[in-house]
Amino acid sequence: MFFISSFLHVSVHQVTVFKLLPLYFPSSFPISKIYFNLFFFFFSFSFFNFSKPLFSRLCLNRSMDFAKLKRMLCYWIHQIVNILLRLTWHLLHFTIHLFYFAINIANALESHLISKGLLRRYKSLHISKLQYLAIVIESEDCRTSNVIELLQWLADLGVKHVCLYDKEGILKKSKDFILEKFDGATLFQENDVLLDQPLMTLEFASFSDGKEAVAKAANVLFMKYLKSGSTSSYQGEQIFTESQMGEALKTVGGNGPEPDLLLVYGPARCHLGFPAWRIRYTEIQHMGPLKSMKYGSLIKAIYKFTMVQQNYGK
């Protein structure tokens, strides 16, 4: 419509000009050429007026299409990157699970072969190197049936001194039942010497024992060094050495034998609050949950300990 109106408007002026041309030019002048030039001029002018808004709209549409295309391209790139990252994460997760699954299968197969006696190197255990064994059990996994079965395995291997520890003291409360069900075991006394005995000695400990022992030892040191007045010239600079602390723990009965090997049964890879002053030179091995304990894994742990060479500093 714009083109038609512009063209009609120009045509009216063109007719007017064409009527006035003979008045200003003589008859001999080639008016036809003038008509052609004027017609070309007016046509070009009308076409320019029509094409100018069309061109601007075309450029605007192209810029809008380019921006829309750019946004769509960024959106799909973002989606593809997210998909690739998710696939990478799931692949890595699957690979790790597959790796640990293969390790568990290999350990289970090795434990089965050890328990059947098919691997020769595990047949000869230097059990004499294991003077004192500590077993740390997660309180939630403390089933007396499993504990008694584990003690029977240890007795068959020739272990004579065992400490049973759990943080909540469940085993300590069940010690009478365990000693009754497990024949051939006696309760460990603080003054007992770690010698070869015909019967297995059992010690029951919990987190409260260590906490109470530390409090009593600190009280002993306080009474000895502060109330006696022997440290009046060293107020504010008193230092308690490790030997003094060990002596105080012996005084209150909290310094039991130091285990040679500590086996942890539970999900956590830590000693679960076992008295730290008793495991300064102790080898610690994680055995997994108590409900999935295996005889072959126990033999393997003891064998690894007997093959370790411990170096003590000065």
| SS3 of residue 240 by DSSP | coil
**3 within a domain of the structure (yes/no):** no
Mean pLDDT score of the chain: 75
pTM value is 0.64
**163 within a domain of the structure (yes/no):** yes
For residue 299, how far is the Cα from the chain centroid?
30
**96 within a domain of the structure (yes/no):** no
**211 within a domain of the structure (yes/no):** yes
- Residue numbers of the domain that contains 221: 120-225+245-307
Looking at residue 69, its pLDDT comes to: 77
Structural domain tally of the chain?
A: 1
**113 within a domain of the structure (yes/no):** no
CATH number, position 163: 3.40.1180.10
**289 within a domain of the structure (yes/no):** yes
Looking at residue 102, its pLDDT comes to: 94
**198 within a domain of the structure (yes/no):** yes
What stretches of the chain adopt beta strand conformation (E)?
Answer: 133-137, 161-165, 185-187, 200-205, 261-265, 283-288
pLDDT tens column, 256-286: 788 999 999 988 888 888 888 788 889 999 9
**264 within a domain of the structure (yes/no):** yes
